Amino acid sequence: MVKRKANRLEEDFDIPNLRRSARHKQPVLTPPATEARASQAKSAESNAPQTSKSGKQRRPQKQGVKAPLVRVYPQDLSKSKPDTKETAQPSTQPKSEADEAPLSLEKSYWLMKAEPESRVEKGVDVKFSIDDLASRTEPEPWDGIRNYVARNNLRAMKKGDLAFFYHSNCKVPGIVGTMEIVQDHSPDLSAHDPTAPYYDASSKPDNPKWSVVYVEFRSKFKQPIGLKELREMGKPGQPLEEMQVLKQSRLSVSRVSPAEFRYLMSVMKQRGGES
């Protein structure tokens, strides 16, 4: 049975481092005359007899060899400083549950719309719901997309990606479950069939304009997340303020960020989970 997944209105729509040259600074030395006088006074003082508390004179200590004068320049001090850089130690803080089991960075996440209520297009009922998908025993083609942005999103999908199933054009639109992309995109042959609801004469078999992916059912939410609630979650400052489907409401296939997917799955669990 042909199903409707796209709204009819979607058609065509280091600054370089400057090295400062240091001036050569001369070492500060004691004038020769002053140094000589100081040396003589120190020698005389050390050679003078010392008197102990008992009244006996102490023998003068032998003079050692005088150490040579070592000139130290300011720039040499920087070279002799020990390396105080510490090696980074691994964090010992416990990881949260979200850190232990993050969403796969290799996957992408999507939202795909279908119409759960009957609507006839060119004599064909395009109804398709989450229950219809759950009843399928083989991968289901997601065909009928005739919007370029939605088509490009289809072409960006990879096997293993996850998508929300969204009921559209019905009394209570919203997210009702999840499915998995099980086959990468391929040409949508229904666009070349004149009897198909969404036949496109401008699309040729040798140069197809439209694409299709294959999906499989994964879960049904016990309580849907309605469009009104999604809009509340998409207000400024809320978790879904950048969600594509809320910014481009007529888009039948839209992107979902990992953070948005995680948030909506947590909302689903708070409402009773999935089946």
- pLDDT, residue 275, reads 80
The answer to whether residues 196 and 174 touch, using CB atoms and an 8 Å cutoff, is: no
Residue 141 sits in a domain whose CATH number is 3.10.590.10
The secondary structure of the chain as a DSSP string is -----S-GGGS----PPPPPPPP-PPPP---HHHHHHHHHHHHHHHHSPEE-TTSPEEPPPPP-PPPPP----HHHHHHHS---PPPPPPP-SPPPHHHHSPPPTT--EEEEEE--S--EETTEE----HHHHHH-SSPEEE-----HHHHHHHHH--TT-EEEEEE-SSSS-EEEEEEEEEEEEEE-GGGG-TTSTT--TT-BTTB---EEEEEEEEEEEEEEEEHHHHHHHTSTTSTTTT-HHHHSTT-SEEEE-HHHHHHHHHHHHHTT-B-
Q: Domain tally for the chain? A: 1
Residue 228: inside a domain, yes or no?
A: yes
Any domain includes 71: no
Q: Is residue 48 part of a domain?
A: no
| Rounded-to-integer distance, Cα 154 and Cα 110, Å | 9
List of the chain residues with pLDDT < 70:
1-105
Give the pLDDT of residue 263: 98
| Identity of the amino acid at 168 | S
Residue-level pLDDT at 231: 97
pLDDT in the model for residue 16: 42
| Residue 23 forms part of a structural domain | no
Angle at 44 between CA 42 and CA 48, to 5 degrees: 120
Q: Read off the pLDDT of residues 199-254 as tens digits, 9 standing for 90 and up.
A: 999 999 999 999 999 999 999 999 999 999 999 999 999 999 999 999 999 999 99
Q: Has residue 169 been placed in a domain? A: yes
- Parallel/antiparallel/unpaired status of strands 174-187 and 211-226: antiparallel
Which structural domain range is residue 211 located in?
101-270
Q: Please check whether residue 88 lies inside any domain of the structure.
A: no
Tell if the pTM clears 0.75, that is, is over it.
no
Give pLDDT, residue 21. Answer: 42
Residue 91 domain-assigned (yes or no)? no
Q: Is residue 147 part of a domain?
A: yes
**Residue of 194, 134, 190 whose CA lies nearest to 5:** 190
